Homo-oligomer: A and B are copies of this chain.
């Protein structure tokens, strides 16, 4: 039996995940749209043998750009430029199923997978925001509709990725035959929301399917993840909550005929690293002192649906319903945090500034490694989504000081296991559903034969 190994993803976000990162002397906010900044980050992550880098996304200017460094680059466009300067690291981009067409999404990820030699991953989101709907001229779809669309969307996209069998290209120059067209299939999808003939006009991606990633923690989100996702990014504040989520999500896999190890769960963690505890806490305090309360108040107002002003800062969070729509798992996390620790709004803002609800841990490299090891061995995580408070410094500190500690403990790889993102995540390469062997393996086909 092979040893169970951690998987680590570097969640890249501008000049850092802390909302005041752009004001800290260790960052350069002028590099927000400088591709070399992100290329440097990807190279650092690769030096640390991390599995992947990941870019979040939204389709509107979310948050108060007066007080934070927003307005960055579109993830898929950026990841191609990172593919060009790296060799091993996985490249995961967020793309919405609500405001896109499956043909485009299948094609762009297939292209990124070719360009990167099999390192593409898609973080599937359904775009909850009102502001996004307004940029596409539609009413914001209801939660259930978004997930129903996402389900069919995934069906179409994976069919398109399968539409060229792996052996379709024969490249017979003498005979003048480039492809065996009996191995390229129109998908003839005609569903409730999409009608797509296919085939895709890009040949099969090196990974078969680029890796499918998801981050929703609502009931519908968890079912979607159990059905489709191969890696899940999640926000969990306590070990108990982390274990509960982990056990819950893994237990849902069986009903889709999937085993426990076909989906990896990676909670977010923002590590504030110092060579001593005091140094770590000094960095944390520096960042907290740079917070502009107006920014956090605006964010928290959107999240809770309550208009919060400066007057509210030194009082407890007002009563907030956490049951609306069943979609607001992040809202529930934040309200639970405020209630559990009896925080004022100002204190809550301080707790959210580092990771927007993700867990923030300040300490020495050994202490950070302890936390990672504890969750990993206690059944709360298969790995972590690393969210450095400042970039590039915070990622460099993690790679240079925490990664070696995790390697020393035998928890993390010292060399990449494979060439593709799937290989490094230890996940199988899906066969094309149109390949004869795949068809023969289907129960209906067996009955018919």
Taking Cβ atoms with an 8 Å cutoff, the residues of A that contact B are 22-23, 29-30, 32-35, 39, 58-62, 64-74, 76-81, 83-85, 99-101, 103-104, 107-108, 110-112, 114-115, 131, 134-137, 164, 169, 171, 173, 176-181, 184, 194-203, 290, 292
Contact = CB atoms under 8 A, between A and B. Distances in A.
B178 A68 contact: yes
Nearest to A39: B84
A65 B115 contact: no
A109 B70 CA distance: 18
Nearest to A195: B137
Given A66-B179, A135-B198, A201-B58, A108 B77 contact: yes
Contact of A178 (B29, B131, B137, B177): B29
Nearest to A198: B135
A70 B99 CA distance: 28
Contacts of A178: 22, 29, 65-70
A23 B172 CA distance: 8
List the 5 closest A-B pairs by CB distance, nearest first.
A137-B195, A80-B80, A84-B84, A134-B197, A77-B111
A202 B111 contact: no
Contacts of A202: 33, 71-74
Contacts of A59: 103-104, 201
B81 A201 contact: no
Given A60-B201, A171-B29, A176 B67 contact: yes
A196 B101 contact: no
Nearest to A60: B201
A59 B196 CA distance: 12
Given A35-B115, A71-B203, 17 more contacts: A22-B178, A33-B202, A35-B83, A35-B114, A70-B179, A70-B201, A71-B202, A74-B110, A77-B80, A84-B85, A99-B101, A99-B103, A101-B136, A103-B135, A131-B197, A135-B196, A176-B292
Contacts of A69: 171, 178
B78 A115 contact: yes
Contact of A61 (B62, B68, B200): B200
Nearest to A80: B80
Given A58-B201, A201-B59, A196 B73 contact: no
A114 to B, nearest CB: 4
Contacts of A62: 201
A136 B103 CA distance: 7
Contacts of A30: 171
A30 to B, nearest CB: 7
Residue of A34, A39, A197 ringed by the most chain B CB atoms within 10 A: A197
Contacts of A177: 66-67
A22 B194 CA distance: 35
B35 A84 contact: yes
A108 to B, nearest CB: 5
A29 B33 CA distance: 36
Nearest to A61: B201
B196 A77 contact: no
26 contacts: A22-B171, A29-B178, A32-B203, A33-B202, A58-B201, A61-B199, A64-B181, A65-B184, A67-B177, A70-B179, A70-B201, A71-B169, A71-B179, A71-B201, A72-B202, A73-B115, A74-B110, A78-B80, A80-B80, A80-B84, A81-B83, A84-B84, A99-B104, A100-B104, A134-B196, A134-B197
A192 to B, nearest CB: 11
A176 B290 contact: yes
A292 B178 CA distance: 11
